[in-house]
């Protein structure tokens, strides 16, 4: 997991004008995120004023260390701080110096020394009200995060937020929101993390703090990825990585390269994921950031497990072992335990794998995502042994764990994309049930994966666990043939349901179907008539998705499409039926869509009485770029015939 904690403490003073102007300019460069330029000016300022104005040289030296720390160059920051004049009588500066040194020591995992520096700073803070003391609170949060003490870290960051507001320090307020967002990310409260990161981003934009803005932007990318919104996550992560590189912020560049790798790996682009993680490891090694080196090694280990290169994965874990022993971070230990379990499972060392997974699942410090991963792996382990009963129980346990995680989300907008995190579990469970000959139960599980979130948004009560579906009764009530699709990683399925029977048909894998759908949708948006041009993709999709169940669909009858994934955006009416002559499927059936069987069964029958219509169309053309539609009047007349004259509101022309 990525941990991103920002340190930026403005210092205030009014001394000799020439030194002050030089310092303020360098400081503004830092606050706006131009780190390399700020570092250069701080170095020059120190050399320029170290003899004639040593008090200002001291400030330039602290600024140089702060910039280096922000860039992730912790050893260099410590080197600069060792040259700082220890005889300074400015208490604000002393507090600031102790804080910076403590954070640098935290980053290189010299925790006892870091704790001592913070204690020294706190003793100065106890003697009076100093602006730099807000940074001490924040730095304590950094140390708590390094130990995996999330509740303690959150309290320190909340205290720093209160300090910022009491002292009208907008920059400290922004960093408090940013760091609270990191705590939310680590605690897997992802919609809360997005809210806090957006607060940080808003303040950063108001302040013109470019570095802080890219920081918040990258954390937003992480939050949206964990919520299942991969497209938005990828865009935010790549933009943040580019901005961090342009600003000379190597540490943040490392983190956003990692975020991009997560999205690539999730989408199956393992080559790009490898490049991103390797880039992150190289950058982390360049700046000596132990925390980021650990994250990158963990990511590469899991990636190579997925690829099937177990020896390489194990080599990364061996590199991790001595690093983790010094962190005292239980989450890192559990992450490695889970990875070792996956390697053991892949090598058919079942007992070793089961022990590892149960250790992670039972540990009270495990994150929900870790428990979810352990339970999923246990289910697959039991399935591989042929113990279907134990596998079934563990799949259901994993899905209950997922539901608990989803219940923690506060925003309804977050719950729908969050479903993507459970898709691999549902996919494996459905595949197992089908293999066991339990097609009806598999249909119930597949429908439950959609119905739970969708129905909650409409205020409907949906059981936490999949319940038995009476699919044929739902088809009878709808007076239709139901075509229910599930797009799986290795195998997709179609359940065709009529009032009399339910039949299951295997379909190609999700990737193959998606490629054809995307090509056909592009063709539909193009200038050519796909029917006249005998588009092969339109025919192929009909043969792939509909033809297997064609004998269950009476000519002219109703068909309800319950799509999945990319199929929810496909207009099935445009699929091309090849015989007796090529024609659109809309000529053979009346098609409607539904999100799930559960919701279809819950729908109330429509009333034919008192129907009203609002009809808008046949508008005036605003110019030659938007010509009038010649058939619009005819289409509107056809619609009007279906409604009583008194129940129509018609808006046309002007």
The string of pLDDT tens digits covering residues 1-44 is: 444 444 544 444 444 448 889 999 999 998 888 888 999 999 99
Give DSSP secondary structure letters for 249-263.
Answer: -HHHHHHHHHHHHHH
pLDDT of residue 429: 96
Mean model confidence pLDDT for the chain = 87
Q: Which helix (H) or strand (E) holds 513?
A: helix 510-525
Of 290, 292, 298, which is closest to residue 315 (Cα–Cα)? 298
Question: At residue 88, does pLDDT exceed 80?
Answer: no
Mean pLDDT over residues 400-411, rounded?
Answer: 72
Q: Is the pTM of this model over 0.75?
A: no
pLDDT band of residue 456 (cuts 50, 70, 90) is low
Mean pLDDT over residues 454-467, rounded?
Answer: 58
Contact 447, 469 (CB under 8 A): yes
Of 621, 615, 618, 610, which is closest to residue 640 (Cα–Cα)? 615
Between strands 502-507 and 558-562, the pairing is unpaired
Low-confidence winner among 178-182, 317-321, 488-492, 596-600 (lowest mean pLDDT) = 596-600
Low-confidence winner among 120-124, 252-256, 631-635 (lowest mean pLDDT) = 631-635
What 3-state class would DSSP assign to 578?
A: coil
pLDDT of residue 649: 85
Euclidean distance between CA atoms 549 and 542, whole angstroms: 10
pLDDT of residue 284: 92
* Neighbouring C-beta atoms of residue 632, cutoff 10 Å: 13
Higher per-residue pLDDT: 403 or 137:
137
pLDDT of residue 54: 87
Contact 33, 212 (CB under 8 A): yes
Question: At residue 466, does pLDDT exceed 80?
Answer: no
pLDDT of residue 313: 96
pLDDT band of residue 409 (cuts 50, 70, 90) is low
Contact 414, 190 (CB under 8 A): yes
Euclidean distance between CA atoms 654 and 631, whole angstroms: 17
pLDDT band of residue 67 (cuts 50, 70, 90) is very high
Mean pLDDT over residues 489-496, rounded?
Answer: 95
**DSSP, res 623:** B
pLDDT of residue 459: 55
Mean pLDDT over residues 507-528, rounded?
Answer: 90
Euclidean distance between CA atoms 638 and 264, whole angstroms: 49
Q: At what angle do helices 368-385 and 350-362 cross, to 10 degrees?
A: 150
Between strands 481-486 and 492-497, the pairing is antiparallel
Contact 6, 179 (CB under 8 A): yes
Euclidean distance between CA atoms 44 and 61, whole angstroms: 10
Question: At residue 127, does pLDDT exceed 60?
Answer: yes
Q: Is 386 left (phi over 0), alpha (psi -120 to 50) or beta?
A: left
Structure tokens belonging to residue 158:
């909340």
pLDDT of residue 15: 41
Tens-digit pLDDT profile for residues 347-367? 999 999 999 999 999 999 888
Higher per-residue pLDDT: 541 or 469:
541
Euclidean distance between CA atoms 472 and 181, whole angstroms: 48
Contact 350, 341 (CB under 8 A): no
Euclidean distance between CA atoms 195 and 370, whole angstroms: 24
The CA angle 319-325-329, to the nearest 5 degrees, is 110
Euclidean distance between CA atoms 348 and 354, whole angstroms: 11
Of 202, 120, 118, 186, which is closest to residue 154 (Cα–Cα)? 186
Mean pLDDT over residues 65-72, rounded?
Answer: 90
| Residues comprising the chain, all counted | 654
Question: At residue 396, does pLDDT exceed 50?
Answer: yes
Q: Which of 37-46, 124-133, 639-648 has the highest mean pLDDT?
A: 37-46
Higher per-residue pLDDT: 541 or 323:
541
Give DSSP secondary structure letters for 77-145.
Answer: HHHHHHTS-TT---HHHHHHHHHHHHHHHHHTT-HHHHHHHHHHHHHHHTTS--TTHHHHHHHHHHHHH
Euclidean distance between CA atoms 588 and 244, whole angstroms: 56
**Alpha-carbon dihedral of residues 461, 464, 470, 473, nearest 10 degrees?**
20
What 3-state class would DSSP assign to 442?
A: helix
Between strands 558-562 and 613-619, the pairing is unpaired
Euclidean distance between CA atoms 106 and 77, whole angstroms: 12
Contact 35, 71 (CB under 8 A): yes
Euclidean distance between CA atoms 276 and 270, whole angstroms: 10
Contact 392, 438 (CB under 8 A): no
Euclidean distance between CA atoms 114 and 185, whole angstroms: 24
pLDDT of residue 410: 54
Mean pLDDT over residues 300-315, rounded?
Answer: 95
């Amino acid at each position: 997991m990525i941990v991103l904690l920002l340190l930026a403490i403005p210092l205030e003073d009014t001394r000799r004008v020439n030194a002050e102007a030089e310092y303020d300019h360098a400081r503004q460069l830092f606050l706006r995120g131009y780190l390399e330029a700020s570092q250069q000016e701080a170095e020059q300022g120190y050399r320029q004023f170290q003899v004639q104005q040593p008090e200002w040289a001291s400030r330039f030296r602290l600024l140089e260390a702060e910039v280096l720390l922000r860039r992730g160059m912790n050893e260099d920051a410590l080197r600069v701080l060792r040259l700082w004049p220890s005889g300074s009588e400015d208490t604000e500066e002393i507090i600031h110096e102790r804080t910076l040194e403590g954070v640098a020591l935290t980053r290189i995992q010299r925790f006892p020394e870091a704790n001592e520096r913070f204690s020294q700073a706190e003793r100065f803070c106890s003697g009076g009200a100093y602006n730099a003391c807000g940074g001490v609170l924040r730095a304590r949060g950094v140390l708590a995060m390094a130990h995996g003490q999330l509740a303690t870290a959150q309290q320190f960051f909340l205290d720093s937020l209160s300090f910022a507001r009491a002292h009208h320090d907008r920059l400290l307020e922004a960093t408090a929101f940013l760091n609270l967002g990191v705590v939310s990310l680590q605690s897997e409260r992802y919609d809360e993390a997005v809210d806090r990161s957006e607060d940080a981003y808003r303040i950063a934009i108001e302040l013109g703090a470019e570095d802080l803005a890219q920081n918040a932007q990258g954390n937003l990318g992480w939050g949206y990825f964990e919520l299942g919104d991969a497209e938005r996550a990828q865009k935010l992560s790549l933009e943040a990585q580019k901005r961090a590189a342009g600003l000379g912020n190597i540490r943040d560049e490392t983190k956003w390269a990692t975020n991009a790798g997560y999205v690539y790996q999730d989408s199956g682009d393992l080559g790009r994921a490898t490049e991103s993680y390797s880039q992150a490891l190289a950058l982390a090694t360049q700046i000596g950031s132990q925390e980021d080196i650990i994250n990158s090694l963990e990511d590469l280990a899991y990636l190579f497990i997925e690829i099937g290169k177990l020896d390489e994965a194990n080599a990364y874990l061996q590199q991790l072992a001595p690093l983790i022993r010094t962190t005292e971070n239980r989450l890192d230990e559990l992450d490695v335990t889970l990875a070792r379990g996956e390697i053991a499972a892949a090598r058919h060392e079942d007992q070793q794998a089961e022990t590892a997974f149960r250790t992670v699942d039972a540990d009270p410090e495990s994150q929900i995502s870790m428990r979810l991963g352990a339970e999923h792996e246990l289910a697959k382990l039991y399935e591989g042994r042929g113990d279907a009963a134990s596998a079934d129980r563990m799949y259901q346990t994993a899905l209950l764990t997922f539901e608990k995680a989803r219940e923690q989300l506060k925003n309804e907008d977050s719950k729908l994309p969050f479903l993507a995190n459970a898709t691999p579990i549902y996919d494996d469970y459905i595949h197992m049930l089908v293999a066991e000959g339990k097609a009806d139960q598999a249909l119930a599980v597949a429908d439950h994966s959609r119905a739970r979130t969708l129905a909650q948004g409409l205020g409907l009560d949906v059981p936490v666990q999949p319940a038995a579906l009476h699919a044929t009764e739902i088809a009878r009530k709808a007076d239709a043939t139901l075509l229910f699709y599930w797009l799986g990683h290795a195998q997709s399925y179609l359940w065709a349901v009529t009032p009399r029977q339910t039949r299951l048909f295997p379909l190609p894998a999700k990737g193959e179907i998606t490629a054809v759908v995307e090509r056909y949708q592009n063709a539909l948006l193009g200038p050519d008539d796909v029917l006249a041009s005998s588009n092969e993709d339109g025919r192929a999709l009909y043969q792939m998705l509909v033809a297997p169940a064609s004998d269950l669909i009476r000519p002219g009858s109703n068909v309800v499409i319950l799509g999945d994934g990319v199929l929810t955006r496909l207009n099935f009416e445009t699929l091309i039926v090849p015989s007796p002559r090529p024609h659109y499927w809309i000529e053979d059936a009346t098609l409607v869509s539904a999100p799930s069987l559960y919701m279809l069964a819950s729908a109330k029958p429509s009333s034919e009485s008192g129907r009203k219509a609002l009809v808008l169309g046949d508008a005036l053309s605003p110019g030659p770029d938007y010509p009038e539609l010649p058939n619009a009047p005819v289409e509107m007349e056809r619609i009007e015939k279906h409604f009583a004259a008194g129940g129509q509101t018609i808006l046309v022309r002007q």
